[in-house]
Chains A and B, each alone.
Chain A
Amino acid sequence: MNIKTEANTAHVTMDPGERFFFKGSHLRGVSAFNWSLVPPYPFGSPIARALHGCYFGMKYVDADTETRGVAITGHHPRGSFISIDVPPGHQYYVNARLLAGFSSRFEKIHTHIKVAPVYWCVKKHFFPVFTGPGNILLYSASPIQDSAALEFQPERIAAFNIQRRFQAVPPAPTTVASQGINVFSRETIWRFLDGGQTFVESHNFEEAHAGKGSLGHVLKHILLLRFLG
């Protein structure tokens, strides 16, 4: 299987006998697909996938006897696709919100539920994990990049190998006023202790547009940025 991504388009080429599942909304204009009545991997993170529209009503394309290619286009003009080739035996966490499709060769999909203190700090407890071999296709309204950096906002993380250890750390402001605000802030930084590839969004689209124009948002800017920032 070969997946080529270029900004807002992705071209999935399947070898004979392979199958690829797509999130329904990404297959507009593609007519040769099949409806998946039974969800693929029905016991693999069903709640997270159902919440983000990639459990029920998924569509799939089969390459029965010959190589077959499917080109798809994202529904956001500045969106981008990225593919992850998960080697056999490797396990990758994938943000279900960004999941656009996956191949049928995965050994299993399941959810890791974590309640240790560090997970409370990053406000995440449920992690959909894909066990290779297989291919994952992610889509975001903002560009997704493959980064070698170690520190990220938790909301921006799209996928990574779960063998990497991580630590939650607070921001390190320099001014006294910012340090005072930081005590009451909820912002944390996801810091990997081991090197490796991390697939991250350039910015969190949902977060960037949440609460804009609300009274609380305006007051926060006036109070924190104008007087204390």
Chain B
Amino acid sequence: MVVTGNVDDTEMLNMDTKPLGVQEILAGVISLVCLASIIGLINLIRIDLHEGATKVPSYEDMRKIAENDLHTLQSSMVSLVAKISSLASLKEVLTAQIESTSVMIKEKYPSVPLTPKTFLDRTYADYKIKKPLRDIAEAALNDMKTRLTGIGGEKEVAQQELDRINKDLSDSIEKLRHLDLSKGMQVQNWLRGNCRPIRPWFHGSLALILLGVFVRLSFRLALMRGWIKPNKV
């Protein structure tokens, strides 16, 4: 159909009062669904960002955990050293070793807090938190065991004390390994359950796509209802 002549302005104004058609209802419903989905996704992203930032332990927190473990080890060592005070050099060796281990631990765990922007770093953080803690503690203890086996003095007394030290150290290593693994697993499980790196990106991308659909359908609905005003070039 070819329309010629002038179009009456009242015809354009009356478009707003004409009954809704199938296409207009469809466009409106889909637009509302998209809008509701966008709001829900934004809420999910907000939760991801907010809880992710507050719940994920920082490097500083994990450094303190590692230090506490080492302090537990240190207390154990001090009590062992007190038992073998006759072997004077052992105390100095153990103290120096423990101090150097503490320094090494602090260097391995720099105090860099996680920010919401570094979601993808969390798996790496998990690796950095768990593995060096166990490696360093085990290396330190093994080194101490090696040094203790070379200490001189009265042979029988020293042998007895060394046997006890070795036994206690083995117990401490086992205890430390158990504690360290459980903490690591806790962190890892928390990360897997609450802070999967892909989630905010997935939700964000989905929200953007839905935003595009919403804008386009809203425009289409406005076009169908005649809400877009006439204009001149």
Contacts and interface: CB of A to CB of B under 8 A. Distances in A.
Interface of A: 93, 112, 114, 116-121, 127, 129, 148-151, 160, 162-170, 173, 176, 179-180, 182-185, 188, 191-195
Contact of A114 (B4, B219, B231): B231
Given A183-B30, A193-B6, A116 B223 contact: no
A193 B9 contact: yes
B7 A150 contact: yes
A165 B26 contact: no
B9 A121 contact: no
Contact of A117 (B9, B21, B26, B228): B228
Nearest to A188: B223
Nearest to A112: B233
Contact of A151 (B2, B26, B217): B2
23 contacts: A127-B233, A129-B233, A162-B232, A162-B233, A165-B232, A166-B231, A167-B226, A167-B231, A168-B228, A169-B223, A173-B23, A179-B21, A179-B23, A179-B26, A180-B23, A183-B23, A183-B26, A183-B30, A183-B220, A185-B220, A188-B223, A192-B7, A195-B6
Given A168-B223, A169-B223, A194 B6 contact: yes
A24 B194 CA distance: 66
B87 interface: no
Contact of B22 (A127, A164, A180, A188): A180
A199 to B, nearest CB: 14
Contact of B2 (A149, A163, A167, A185): A149
Contact of B219 (A120, A165, A194): A120
Contacts of A121: 219, 223, 228
B229 A150 contact: no
A193 B7 contact: yes
Interface residues of B, number: 27
Contacts of B9: 193
Given A170-B224, A191-B7, A195-B4, A180 B231 contact: no
Nearest to B11: A193
Contacts of A192: 7
A179 to B, nearest CB: 4
B26 A148 contact: no
Interface in B1-39: 2-7, 9, 12, 21-23, 26-27, 30
A183 B217 contact: yes
Contacts of A120: 219
A93 B27 contact: no
A117 B23 CA distance: 20
B10 to A, nearest CB: 11
Nearest to B215: A120
B230 A167 contact: yes
Contacts of A119: 231
Cβ-closest 3 pairs across A and B = A179-B23, A162-B233, A167-B230
Nearest to B233: A162
B222 interface: yes
A119 B219 CA distance: 12
Contacts of B228: 117-118, 121, 167-168
A182 B231 CA distance: 24
Contact of A167 (B5, B12, B219, B224): B12
Contacts of A163: 232
A147 B26 CA distance: 35
Contacts of A188: 223
B4 A193 contact: no
A89 B230 CA distance: 23
B4 A118 contact: no
B231 A149 contact: no
A148 B4 contact: yes
A170 B7 contact: no
